[in-house]
């Protein structure tokens, strides 16, 4: 059992670090990421270590069983059972990881919980750092970093290089006007919006934890949060920005004046000055970028709003269990002609693919996580509870128009939120 426990420690830390590395993937039978390969090994290691199963883990397992029953019932009515089976396998794997992580974190104590949280944030930092290097090499030296570090080793990657979003008009010193490309980072994800939405999570957590840290550590956390915010801006993700604002508002409501401590304010002020200087040196370019990104009439913007129109039609025909998990793309292809276009929203996905019952199950799950975080708050872990709660709020806000709750990082965040309430991990 000690060996199994040590193996579970290593595997959980590895899963948390790689949870956002979507492009570290292969295609043996569909796209499989490194985190996907590590996940079943971690679940097996936890099972072999025979830990005590906490009450929170049992409650989570019961919620999972209810969701599984709804998803299986959806198989009766779905027109695409192959897609449903694929979606069900992925969901079951990561929900099992969530339960196993809650069990293991609750049993291992506060010190290991902090290591796990650090590993989780470190994975985001590596992702953001890769995005910075990707952006500098791609825009300044016309070098596709992915061609050397990703494409030869990870054939499961769905994209390569920076995302070319558009071109903008820039006036030169001699008065001539040229078109310059607008690039967005993808980092170790497959889409600039994915990395943008995901980065809101560590930013909010770090800022919350910094309010309760000693001065030097608080300053270091704030600096990392500012650096991650810079990477979020390089993704130019509107959903990511919405999520970040929602998360910060949650922190402002829960932590209040603690957010404006000196160690937290100075890095933000310095970053603002540097950012303003960069923008002023190329004002035409950045004005054009902002205008492009804030234009609500672009095809990309309109499709994300029109997709909500599918909810009434689906619920009128399949009100209880929906179309079936992971089958929206096939349905949408039939009504719009677009191939492989997913629900692009947690709320569209929950209501159309799993119906009223599935959506209710998601609400129950979120309410349970919220209850666990409230217990951590009342136990004295206010900064941690606020940070994890703010990260969840940020994700839910960003997922109005972009879907990231299907990725491992979401399940990892839920596990950390639930385990924070444990009497062995929460501060007294």
Tens digit of pLDDT for each residue in 103-137?
Answer: 999 999 999 999 999 999 999 999 999 999 999 99
End-to-end CA distance of the chain: 29
Is the per-residue pLDDT at 421 higher than 60? Answer: yes
pLDDT-above-70 percentage for the chain: 96
Cα–Cα dist 183/88, whole Å? 35
Question: What's the burial of 50, exposed, middle or buried (CB within 10 Å: 0-12/13-18/19+)?
Answer: exposed
Q: Which range has highest mean pLDDT (160-164, 275-279, 388-392)? A: 388-392
**Rounded to two decimals, what is the model's pTM?**
0.95
Q: What is the DSSP string of 272-301?
A: HHHHHHHHHHTHHHHHHHHHHHH-TTSHHH
Name 25's bridge partners: 33
**In the chain, % of residues over pLDDT 90:** 71
For the residues 238-260, what does the mean pLDDT come to?
91
Give the Cα separation of 412 and 141 in Å (integer).
Answer: 36
Among left, alpha and beta (phi > 0; psi -120 to 50; other), residue 285 is alpha
**Is the dihedral angle over the CA atoms 252, 253, 254, 258 positive or is it negative?**
positive
Q: Mean per-residue pLDDT for 258-266?
A: 75
Give the pLDDT of residue 423: 53
169 pLDDT higher than 90: no
Burial of 186 (0-12, 13-18, 19+ CB in 10 A): buried
The pLDDT score that the predictor gives to residue 265 is 79
- Average pLDDT score over residue span 340-359: 95
Using alpha carbons, select from 329, 318, 424 the residue that is nearest to residue 379: 424
* Mean of per-residue pLDDT scores for the chain: 91
> pLDDT by residue (tens digit) across 22-51?
999 998 777 899 999 999 999 999 999 988
């Amino acid at each position: 059992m000690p060996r199994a426990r040590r193996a579970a420690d290593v595997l959980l830390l590895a899963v948390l670090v790689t949870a956002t590395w979507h492009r570290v993937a292969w295609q043996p039978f569909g796209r499989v990421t490194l985190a996907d390969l590590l996940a079943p090994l971690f679940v097996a290691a936890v099972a072999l270590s025979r830990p005590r199963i906490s009450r929170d883990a049992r409650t989570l397992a019961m919620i999972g069983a209810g969701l599984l029953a709804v998803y299986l019932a959806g198989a009766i009515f779905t027109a695409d059972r192959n897609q449903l089976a694929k979606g069900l396998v992925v969901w079951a794997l990561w929900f099992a990881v969530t339960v196993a992580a809650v069990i293991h974190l609750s049993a291992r104590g506060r010190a290991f919980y902090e290591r796990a949280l650090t590993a989780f944030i470190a994975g985001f930092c590596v992702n953001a750092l890769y995005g910075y290097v990707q952006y500098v090499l791609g825009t300044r030296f016309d070098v596709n970093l992915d061609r050397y570090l990703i494409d030869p080793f990870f054939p499961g990657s769905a994209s390569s290089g920076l995302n070319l979003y558009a071109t903008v008009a820039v006036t030169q010193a001699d008065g001539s006007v040229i078109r310059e490309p607008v690039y967005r980072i993808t980092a170790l994800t497959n889409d600039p919006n994915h990395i943008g939405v995901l980065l809101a999570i560590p930013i909010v957590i770090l800022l919350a934890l910094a309010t309760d840290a000693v001065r030097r550590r608080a300053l270091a956390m704030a600096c990392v949060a500012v650096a991650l915010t810079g990477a979020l801006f390089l993704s130019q993700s509107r959903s990511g920005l919405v999520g970040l604002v929602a998360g910060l508002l949650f922190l402002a409501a829960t932590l209040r004046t603690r957010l404006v401590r000196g160690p937290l304010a100075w890095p933000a002020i310095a970053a603002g000055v540097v950012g303003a200087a960069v923008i002023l040196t190329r004002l035409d370019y950045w004005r054009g970028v902002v205008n492009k990104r804030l234009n609500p009439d672009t095809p990309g913007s309109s499709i994300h709003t029109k997709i909500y129109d599918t909810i009434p039609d689906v619920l009128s025909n399949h009100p209880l269990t929906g179309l079936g998990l992971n089958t929206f793309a096939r349905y949408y292809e039939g009504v719009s002609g677009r191939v492989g276009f997913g629900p692009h929203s947690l709320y569209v996905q929950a209501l159309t693919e799993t119906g009223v019952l599935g959506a209710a199950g998601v609400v129950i799950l979120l309410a349970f996580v919220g209850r666990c975080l409230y217990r951590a708050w009342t136990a004295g872990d206010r900064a941690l509870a606020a940070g994890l709660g703010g990260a969840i709020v940020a994700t839910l806000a960003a997922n109005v128009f972009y879907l990231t709750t299907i990725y491992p990082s979401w399940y990892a965040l839920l596990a950390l939120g639930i385990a924070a309430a444990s009497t062995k991990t929460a501060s007294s």
